[in-house]
């Protein structure tokens, strides 16, 4: 059970009650409740589970009980019954971008809309535009939102699939008949979203491995099961395929099923030029050719070498120049998770995080990091409980105090006092220069007015990037994977401004963001812009997001030298011009 589930459930109840025409006060009570849960500074899920919500302003008795039931049992009877009163298709409208409760109510009541498909028809036929309060523009927006949704159908965020995928992989590797196992496909290439997951196992007893695969705990349905192949569904709807090959075939099969398709085509072309055919099982001498017989490849690296290439890491296999670079010995030495020494964009209880400064520091120390940057929200982000000047100054003092304590205790760790400062609509910042000057560093991010025209948004971000106190730009495009499009912005122009002013760009590694997108990093690095791999952690466990950030940074061809948080503590103190702890 997560806070998000509690909030979403209360909001959905409010909407359903509203559709039923229930008393507005009752509806409002659920909305207020949802807002209260969203913003509560403590561990509201634990309090709800333990039935300890009494006295929290904004949560009446009835809501407290419902939250307790939901958090302790995982479901709410009241909610289930209410949902059953409506056509299931109606719920498809609920997370359509830009469609709030009022509009859903109007569509349902005036036009009887009860599914996404029906809504699409009525938008296309012009009926929706005719509704009071809608108009052509709104109808077009709705169609765009539906199209965005359809284009994302069947996609899953890398971060959402990672846990079950790694569990299944580990379990396959434990099987006595498994000689080698890997995940191939888009997952191995670290795409930010994947359609399905491709497992590959080397074995001499494929039936045993297939049987083991289809009986994995996360599997809810077996779609197909043959002697060397199987396909299953996980509860999320994610399809996982497994293919069993012989140990001798494994290297070529892994290369083939890792893809990408475009990379494979180019590799096959290269093999052909050298007199070989390359398929999913082997490299072979071309029919009638006289090229020397190739060996059985033990590894992909050996295959690559045979083709006159340096080893190409899976993340790079998108046919964007990696083969030419490998032939020239020009591939970058990619960054690794172990290279990180700290990280900069993290939240605490003071804004919308869940843990204290000390807890966040403790988690960072446990990961072997030497420093952690705190960047809670600024005052304009009131929905995230942003800090005003007074609270921020108090936090800075608290951080300085903790740092002195660690120094005295001989703990080699430091918190940096920063802020995730809102970039206001005109590109100015949420705090004045004096306060920004008291901070060790500044992350500047957009959290409102996200629908500005491209030129205005670009100017806004360039203005922020050019501010002398701004250390880095946070989540530059604001995208939420599969949920919200990036805002309209001229990214190369913003990269140029960052290059000119020495402003770092964040690679936000929250799996919903992974922003700035990997496709831009090769260019940014070539322009001399540095990257900061930041988890945007809202609780201690989120520091684990760093692993996704590193995967995407590798995909963007970045090296250790391109990433500022590979610097050790002393180098960061020098870079930020903050001096040692005093």
Chain contacts with Zn ion (rule: CB under 5 A): 445
Task: Specify the residue, 259 or 332, whose C-beta has the smaller distance to ligand DGT.
Answer: 259
Indicate the residue among 144 and 196 with the shorter CB distance to Ca ion. 196
Specify the residue for token string 């496909």.
185
* Helix 3-20 and helix 61-73, axial crossing angle in degrees, nearest 10: 130
Which tokens go with 304? 């690559």
For Ca ion, the binding residue among 196, 207, 438, 485 (CB under 5 A) is 196
Minimum CB distance to ligand DGT smaller for 256 or for 487:
256
Choosing among ligand DGT, Ca ion, Zn ion, none, which partner's interface includes residue 257 (Cβ < 5 to 8 Å by kind)?
ligand DGT
Toward Ca ion, which CB reaches closer, 71 or 232? 232
Do 497 and 462 meet the contact criterion of CB atoms below 8 Å apart?
Answer: yes
The answer to the question of residue 536 lying near Ca ion (CB under 5 A) is no
Query: How do 276-278 and 283-285 pair as beta strands?
Result: antiparallel
C-beta separation of 271 from 303 below 8 A = no
Using Cβ positions, the residue closest to ligand DGT within the complex turns out to be 259
**Which residues, 6+ apart, have CB-to-CB distance to 540 below 8 Å?**
355, 359, 360, 362, 363
Q: Which is nearer to ligand DGT, 193 or 471 (CB)?
A: 193
In terms of C-beta density within 10 A (0-12 exposed, 13-18 middle, 19 or more buried), how is residue 141 classed? Answer: middle
Indicate the residue among 110 and 260 with the shorter CB distance to ligand DGT.
Answer: 260
CB 299 within 8 A of CB 313: no
What residue 39 binds from Ca ion, ligand DGT, Zn ion, none (CB within 5 to 8 A, per partner kind)?
A: none
Among all residues, whose Cβ is closest to Zn ion? 445
Choosing among Zn ion, ligand DGT, Ca ion, none, which partner's interface includes residue 259 (Cβ < 5 to 8 Å by kind)? ligand DGT
Least Å from the CB of residue 157 to ligand DGT: 12
Give the residue with the Cβ less far from Zn ion, 294 or 474: 474
Under the binding rule (CB under 5 A), the answer on residue 561 touching Ca ion is no
Residue 50 phi/psi, 5-degree rounding, is: -85, 0
CA dist., res. 219 & res. 239, Å (int): 9
State which residue, 194 or 436, has the beta carbon closest to Ca ion: 194
How many chain residues bind Ca ion (CB under 5 A)? 4
Residues that bind ligand DGT (CB under 6 A): 185-186, 191, 194-196, 198, 256-257, 259-261, 264-265
Shortest distance in whole angstroms from residue 194 CB to ligand DGT: 4
Task: Compute the least distance from the CB of residue 412 to ligand DGT, in Å.
Answer: 42
Give residue for tokens 């949560």.
Answer: 59
Q: Is 198 in the site for Ca ion (CB under 5 A)?
A: yes
CA atoms within 13 A on the CB side of 342: 22
d(CA 104, CA 455) in angstroms, rounded, equals 32
Q: Which is nearer to Ca ion, 186 or 343 (CB)?
A: 186
**Contacted by 353, from ligand DGT, Zn ion, Ca ion, none: CB < 5 to 8 Å by type:** none
Residue the block writes with tokens 């001498």: 285
The nearer residue to ligand DGT, 264 or 370, going by C-beta atoms, is 264
The SS3 assignment for 480 reads strand
The distance of closest approach from Cβ of residue 193 to ligand DGT in the complex, given in angstroms and rounded to an integer, is 7
Q: Could you tell me which of 195, 279, 192 has the C-alpha nearest to residue 231?
A: 195
- Please report how close the Cβ of residue 264 comes to ligand DGT at its closest, in angstroms: 3
Query: In whole angstroms, how close is the CB of 197 to Ca ion at the nearest point?
Result: 6
Counting contacts by CB under 5 A, is residue 185 touching Ca ion?
yes
Structure tokens at 144: 């765009």
- Contacted entry of Zn ion, Ca ion, ligand DGT, none for residue 445, CB cut-off 5 to 8 Å set by kind: Zn ion
Q: Are 129 and 136 in contact (CB under 8 A)?
A: yes
Starting at the earlier edge strand, list the strands of the sheet with 414-417.
Answer: 342-343, 371-374, 414-417
What are residue 193's DSSP bridge partners? 157
In angstroms, what is the minimal distance from the CB of 191 to ligand DGT?
6
Q: Write a three-state SS string for 103-159.
A: HHHHHHHHHCCCCHHHHHHHHHCCHHHHCCCCHHHHHHHHHHHHHHHHHHCCCEEHH
Shortest Å, Cβ 422 to Ca ion: 39
Tell me the C-alpha to C-alpha distance, in Å, between residue 241 and each of 156, 178, 202, 236, 299. 15, 16, 14, 15, 22
Min separation Cβ 261 and ligand DGT, Å: 4
**Cβ 186 to ligand DGT shortest distance, Å:** 3
Is the CB of 342 or the CB of 556 nearer to ligand DGT?
A: 556
Given the rule CB under 5 A, which of 68-76, 179-187, 367-375, 493-501 is the region that contacts Ca ion? 179-187
Least CB distance to Zn ion at residue 364 (A): 19
* The token pair that represents 50 in the structure block: 């333990």
Whole-number Å distance between alpha carbons of 14 and 26:
8
Q: Which stretches of the chain bind Ca ion, using CB under 5 A?
A: 185-186, 196, 198
């Amino acid at each position: 059970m997560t806070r998000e589930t509690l909030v979403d459930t209360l909001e959905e109840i409010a909407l359903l009650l509203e559709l039923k025409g229930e008393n507005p006060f009752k509806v409002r009570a659920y909305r207020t409740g949802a807002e209260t849960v969203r913003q509560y500074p403590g561990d509201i899920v634990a309090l709800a589970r333990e039935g300890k919500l009494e006295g929290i302003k904004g949560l009446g008795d009835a809501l407290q009980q419902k939250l307790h039931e939901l958090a302790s049992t995982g479901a709410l009877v009241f909610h289930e019954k209410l949902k059953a009163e409506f056509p299931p298709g109606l719920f498809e409208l609920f997370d359509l971008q830009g469609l709030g409760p009022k509009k859903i109510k109007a569509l349902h009541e005036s036009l009887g809309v009860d599914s996404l498909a029906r809504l699409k028809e009525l938008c296309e036929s012009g009926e929706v535009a005719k509704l009071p309060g809608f108009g052509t523009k709104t109808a077009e927006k709705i169609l765009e939102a539906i199209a965005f949704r359809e284009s994302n159908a069947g996609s899953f965020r890398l971060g959402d699939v990672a846990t079950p995928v790694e569990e299944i992989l580990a379990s396959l590797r434990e099987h006595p008949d498994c000689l080698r196992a890997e995940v191939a496909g888009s997952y191995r290439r670290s795409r930010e979203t994947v359609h399905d997951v491709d497992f590959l196992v080397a074995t001499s007893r494929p039936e045993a491995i297939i049987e083991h695969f289809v009986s994995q705990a996360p599997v809810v349905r077996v779609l197909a099961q043959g002697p060397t192949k199987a396909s299953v569904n996980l509860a999320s709807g994610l399809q996982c395929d497994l293919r069993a090959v012989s140990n001798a075939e494994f290297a070529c099969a892994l290369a083939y099923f890792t893809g990408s398709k475009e990379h494979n085509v180019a590799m096959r072309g290269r093999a052909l030029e050298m007199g070989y055919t390359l398929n999913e099982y082997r490299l072979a001498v071309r029919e009638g050719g006289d090229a020397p017989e190739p060996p059985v490849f033990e590894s992909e690296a050996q295959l690559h070498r045979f083709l006159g290439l340096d080893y190409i890491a899976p993340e790079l296999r998108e046919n964007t120049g990696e083969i030419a670079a490998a032939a020239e010995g020009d591939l970058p030495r990619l960054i690794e998770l172990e290279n990180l020494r700290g990280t900069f964009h993290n939240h605490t209880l003071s804004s919308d995080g869940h843990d204290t400064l000390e807890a966040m520091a403790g988690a960072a120390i446990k990961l072997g990091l030497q420093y952690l940057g705190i960047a809670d929200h600024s005052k304009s982000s009131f929905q995230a409980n942003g800090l005003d000047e007074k609270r921020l100054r108090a936090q800075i003092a608290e951080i300085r105090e903790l740092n002195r304590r660690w120094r005295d205790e001989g703990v080699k760790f430091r918190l940096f006092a920063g802020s995730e400062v809102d970039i206001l609509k005109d590109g100015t910042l949420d705090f004045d220069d004096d306060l920004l000057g008291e901070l060790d560093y500044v992350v500047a991010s957009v959290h409102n007015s996200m629908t500005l025209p491209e030129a205005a948004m670009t100017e806004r971000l360039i203005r922020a990037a050019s501010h002398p106190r701004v250390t880095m730009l946070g989540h530059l495009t604001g995208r939420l994977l599969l949920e919200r499009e990036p805002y309209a912005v001229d990214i190369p122009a913003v990269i140029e401004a960052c290059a000119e002013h020495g402003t770092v760009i964040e690679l936000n590694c929250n799996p919903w963001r992974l922003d700035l997108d990997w496709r831009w990093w090769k260019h940014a690095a070539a322009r001399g812009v540095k990257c900061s791999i930041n988890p945007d952690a809202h609780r201690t466990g989120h520091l684990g997001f760093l692993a996704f950030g590193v995967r995407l940074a590798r995909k963007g061809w970045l090296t250790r030298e391109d990433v500022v948080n590979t610097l050790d503590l002393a180098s960061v103190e020098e870079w930020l011009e903050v001096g040692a702890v005093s």
